Structure 1
């Protein structure tokens, strides 16, 4: 059997395009069969059990970091007794994050090829150990496809929204949220705390009056394309 992986939303859009509003198992089976018979999935990297497990560890670390941020925000202005309890919880999360980071680092070092990719990524401006590890693990396609496809895969490609003479605003959509979050951090650092092509893009767009979110998104796209070329 030939197996492909599709975004479930595409199947629902396909159903709507055919005018099918009802939904049950029989209807879904027919729609999925029709959809998969008429579509071709983009080639993706075959799943690697070892990498998938590492990806789960990276995602778990990110979850703990987010929870720690939430608790710190909740602690501000809280009664003294609540602050003490929340601070204790923050310390527990910090210890758990450190444990996961040590495990992730150990597993990365045990894989020479992956360790080399992480080390190479850290040579780029703004890319620290956490960002490099996240990109190397959650984006195995990096360096193995075109920059255009890579930016779309991450979700930093601005899509057209035009009709006739009307030119709508471009928007990014889709992509891998965890990777995009890490890339945002790297682009922000590279655009404001270093020198190079990313700084130039940031300054040019700011001079043209572009909003900060637009400029940083452009920096993210520039950075992922350059990282893709570097690893290639």
Structure 2
């Protein structure tokens, strides 16, 4: 007779781990610290049978716990907040507390045991840190450029203009340095390097978008095209009720990744021989520019998923 798996959901905050174990409907609260993590691991090891732990992605507050659990050999998954929220709505749960969230996470894991992702390798974690940092600095440079443009319209002194130039040059240098480090990290691991070469073979996907796809979406190549679109927030979500048919809109997904895919789609709409005609047809039908780019981005992620799945570089098929 197989032992029953114990499912534990944990709501992770800066200071606390609020947990809920389904088997005995037990609740617990531990500190989100090295000592709290050790206490949790000890508690899990005292349980009979296999244990499966899950928690939401919380912007990095769960990473130390995640690494400690995996190092201890405990099955652990990070779960998408959007899926937990949708599950809560399906159950009619409106209240929100740490304890309720922990129970929801545990019950969601029982409902969808395959959901979520396992801890990335050290190489991928470094890559993700670098791509996130690059995105932050690029955003800073964009805001600075907008401020410079606004000041130029108003008329600015030479001193202020020089300060702006120095700051922009500093940001440019930091972005260049990070991109060099990203290239180095990708080259260090054969699997990552192969993925990068496959992705870069697709017209429209450059070094930055390839690195983001590898770092933020390690599941790519092991899912359906629909799942890939949903994970990036590019799948149209219906808003229907009864006989009423609302507009389809994209929602959820990994925002930073979606931004990079939009940039890649802009390039693909003009330079990818397979996607350029698609963009032209959509424009001829009077579709708005944003809708065209979303459609191209959705096809682009489907192509990337298929290429990583087959392990073959992109080849344009005439008439495809």
What is the rounded CA distance, in whole Å, between the counterparts of 1:127 and 1:41 in structure 2?
29
Q: Does 1:69 align with 2:131?
A: no
In the other structure, the counterpart of 1:155 is 233
Q: Which has the higher helix share?
A: 1
What is the rounded CA distance, in whole Å, between the counterparts of 2:141 and 2:124 in structure 1?
26
In the other structure, the counterpart of 1:227 is 304
Q: Which runs of 5+ in 1 are unaligned?
A: none
In the other structure, the counterpart of 1:197 is 274
Q: Provide the secondary structure at the position in 2 that maps to 1:5.
A: strand
> C-alpha displacement at 1:170, in angstroms?
0.4
Moved more, 151-160 or 18-27: 18-27
> C-alpha displacement at 1:45, in angstroms?
4.6
Cα pair distance change 1:10/1:115, threshold 3 Å:
closer
What is the rounded CA distance, in whole Å, between the counterparts of 2:280 and 2:237 in structure 1?
23
In the other structure, the counterpart of 1:110 is 188
In the other structure, the counterpart of 1:2 is 52
> C-alpha displacement at 1:145, in angstroms?
1.2
Q: Which has the higher strand share?
A: 2
What is the rounded CA distance, in whole Å, between the counterparts of 2:97 and 2:258 in structure 1?
35
Runs (4+) off by over 6 Å? none
Cα pair distance change 1:168/1:92, threshold 3 Å:
same
Q: Provide the secondary structure at the position in 1 that maps to 2:249.
A: coil
The correspondence for 1:179, drawn from 240, 248, 257, is 257
**What is the aligned-residue RMSD (CA, Å)?**
2.3
Bigger Rg, which one: 2
Verify the 8 A CA contact 2:123 2:185 in the aligned structure 1: no
Q: Provide the secondary structure at the position in 1 that maps to 2:295.
A: helix
> C-alpha displacement at 1:19, in angstroms?
5.9
Q: Higher relative contact order at CA 8 Å, sep ≥6: structure 1 or structure 2?
A: 1
Q: Which runs of 5+ in 2 are unaligned?
A: 1-50, 54-76, 310-320
Cα pair distance change 1:157/1:18, threshold 3 Å:
closer
- Between the two proteins, the alignment pairs up a number of residues equal to 231
TM-score normalised by L of structure 1: 0.88
